Chain A
Amino acid sequence: MPNSEVIRDLVAACVGQVGAPVTALRKIVDTHGHIEDEHVRIVADVFNLSLADVRGIVSFYTDFRTSPRGRKHIRICQAEACQSVGSRALTKEMTAALGIELGETSDDHAVSLESVYCLGLCASGPCAMVNERTLVHATREELLTCAEPK
């Protein structure tokens, strides 16, 4: 897990880029998985923003999660193209199978379930992602059994 100094270097490297505070927060999520209070303080400090400003940015964007996701992170598309081929039913099957709702993480952090609005694979739905892996024509069985690619 990266320590504060690593995070500070990561954030400082964004100074001067277009949209730097947003990019800095994205890099924190990419490396650390989620954003902690300490990270908010670092971003505020580096860009000379108030804590409220940075918290405001964090709360605006869906990608900026503030709690860790499950080791297996399942995202199911909830948008229209996937609705037309059964994503609502698939989502129901998954919440029933995992015992968690959309937006929740299991107590042991083994799995989390989240909605996503469009992966751009709209002729091949329902679409989902399991960690970094993309699934089209997704089924309950596949989402439950699939592991990360090598």
Chain B
Amino acid sequence: MRRAKVKRALVPNETLANALGANELARELQVRGHEVVRTGGFGLAWLEPMLVIDGKAYGPVQDLDALDAVALGPLAELPELVRQQRIVFDRCGHIDPLDYDPGWLLEQLEREPREIIEEIKASGLRGRGGAGFPAHIKWQTVFDTPAPQKYIVVNADEGDSGTFADRLIMEGDPFRLIEGMMISGHATGADKGIVYLRSEYPLAAEIFANAMDKSRALGLLERFDIELFIGAGAYICGEETSMLESLEGKRGEVRFKPPVPAVAGLFGQPTLVHNVITLCSVPGILDMGGKAYAEIGTGASTGTSTFQLAGNVKRGGLYELPFGISLRELVEDWGGGTRTGRPFGAVQVGGPLGAYLFERHLDTPLGYEDMAALDAGIGHGGLVVFDDTIDLVQQAHYAFAFCAHESCGKCTPCRIGSVRGKEAVAALASGEYTEDRLEVIDELCDLMEQTSLCQMGGMTPIPVRSALGEALSRKGEVN
């Protein structure tokens, strides 16, 4: 950090901070003669808008004349940041997102593709979008499949409620993603990358487009072409084959697998599809070495996860921490309990297709296998906290309703099952707790799990069963 005569102020240019007045604060600081740098956000939602003036942090800032009241001390000692292990988000918040020196990236692009894939294999990196599939297998498959054209497709269709990691990194450090894309392209033999970004993230689109312009000016796009595609409001397009259909300009209906996209994906060519955070984990892995990365985390859940604490919680935000931290540590220590101050009720882990978990589950470590043992998953790392006023039957109804709303309609179990499920739960909610009604829901869940074409229908039973099971056992009606 260089020393300046005028005071240097870091002000986030990030959607949440801007909604809370960061743009106005930046203008006012400029008027007062500060050197203002618009950075990304640190992800500490409850401190936004958070300013850093000459290395000292303040937040949430309402009034520039009353900064002392919200002084947080030196940024370098802020416990909420220091206690994290920021590998993906190490630069985010500290830098001007467009201020980039490609030196390190260009060095990586000189390495042997096989050697890079070996590092990814050694790291144990698994997909951060939800499925948790080992990344190196996809990379190796794309590498091994000969084709005239190969693609990198970035899944930035971050539709899960409770998640905002993709948005934060694309707004705050878009070059981290460009690094991940270019390195994976180099390693697999793909020279074209497409980012599929949801339309609900206009600021991320603007900042990423500016980073693409900067990349072009730096000559980076001559070796690897990047295109930004904006979605049109369809949750299902976060499913990889639906995304590929959408990128081909069609309805986003899921495809049958096989073939997997790594063999025949976009326009029938081998395609590496990864979530934003998976690709953004790659630079850190190459920097520290795959082996060192694998030592972080727990069991087969290596490295860090960008946990996003959301919903009814005091200190919500993004916390990048090693896998293995318990739900209780996140919800209680990091989150500080519910925002309403009422007792904890439930936490939904991993988005709308994730399980509702309760007090007795809170000591479970957040790892892929530990969560699977509870019939739950980590998904994209989002945790939505509810207080004790949660209506679990209503949440089960919502899970079916959301599936009905977002189903692509291609397969019957999802298209029809979600509607019938919604009706059955509505009947339950109206007081008809009959045995045969419960049996219908149970059979429907089995059917959707076993026969849906993709995880939309296949995983909707997870929130349904976890919420409904708990509701009924509390009513003493479960057999």
Contact = CB atoms under 8 A, between A and B. Distances in A.
Interface string B309-328: 11111001100000000000
Nearest to B253: A60
B386 interface: yes
Interface in A1-29: 17-23, 25-26
B402 A81 contact: no
Given A63-B232, A85-B311, A122-B164, A19 B19 contact: no
A123 B15 contact: no
B250 A81 contact: no
Contact of A61 (B19, B194, B233): B233
Interface centre among A19, A26, A134 (most CB of B within 10 A): A19
B348 interface: yes
A3 B317 CA distance: 46
Interface of B: 15-16, 18-20, 45-46, 48, 158-164, 166-167, 194, 199-202, 227, 229-235, 246-253, 266, 308-313, 316-317, 339-340, 348, 352, 382, 384-387, 390, 395, 398, 402, 405-406, 408
A62 B390 contact: no
A149 to B, nearest CB: 9
A60 B308 CA distance: 30
B311 A122 contact: yes
Given A22-B246, A122-B316, A80 B161 contact: yes
Contacts of B252: 60-61
A63 B251 CA distance: 13
A50 interface: no
Given A19-B247, A120-B164, A80 B348 contact: yes
Given A80-B161, A85-B339, A19 B248 contact: yes
B158 A81 contact: no
A111 interface: no
Contacts of A77: 161
Contact of B398 (A18, A83, A120): A83
A100 interface: no
Interface in A97-150: 116-125, 132, 134-136
Interface centre among B194, B201, B230 (most CB of A within 10 A): B230
5 contacts: A22-B249, A47-B249, A60-B252, A80-B352, A124-B316
Interface of A: 17-23, 25-26, 47, 56-57, 60-64, 77, 79-85, 116-125, 132, 134-136
Interface centre among A26, A56, A57, A118 (most CB of B within 10 A): A118
A131 B256 CA distance: 38
B248 A60 contact: no
A136 B387 CA distance: 19
A56 B252 CA distance: 10
Contact of B194 (A18, A64, A124, A132): A18
Interface centre among B162, B266, B386, B405 (most CB of A within 10 A): B162
Given A121-B164, A123-B313, A21 B249 contact: yes
Contacts of A25: 232
A85 B249 CA distance: 37
Contact of B19 (A64, A118, A121): A121
B310 to A, nearest CB: 3
B15 A121 contact: yes
Contacts of B246: 19, 22
A27 to B, nearest CB: 10
Nearest to A20: B249
Contact of B232 (A56, A64, A80): A64
Nearest to A26: B232
Nearest to B315: A123
Contacts of B251: 56-57, 60
B123 to A, nearest CB: 27
A84 B386 contact: yes
A35 B160 CA distance: 28
A118 B313 CA distance: 17
Contacts of B352: 79-80
A78 B197 CA distance: 20
A135 B21 CA distance: 11
Contact of A120 (B46, B158, B229, B266): B158
A122 B162 CA distance: 5
Contacts of A121: 15-16, 19, 45, 164
A44 B202 CA distance: 27
B22 to A, nearest CB: 12
A81 B384 contact: yes
Contacts of B248: 18-19
A120 B408 CA distance: 22
Nearest to A21: B249
Contact of A123 (B18, B309, B390): B309
B360 to A, nearest CB: 20
Given A21-B249, A84-B386, A122 B161 contact: yes
B20 A26 contact: no
B183 to A, nearest CB: 21
Contact of B234 (A21, A56, A60, A81): A60
B19 A84 contact: no
B316 A123 contact: yes
A136 B311 contact: no
Contact of A116 (B164, B200, B310, B348): B200
B351 to A, nearest CB: 8
A18 to B, nearest CB: 5
A118 B158 CA distance: 9
Nearest to B151: A18
Contact of B385 (A56, A84, A120, A135): A84
B402 A124 contact: no
Contacts of A21: 249-250
A121 B405 CA distance: 21
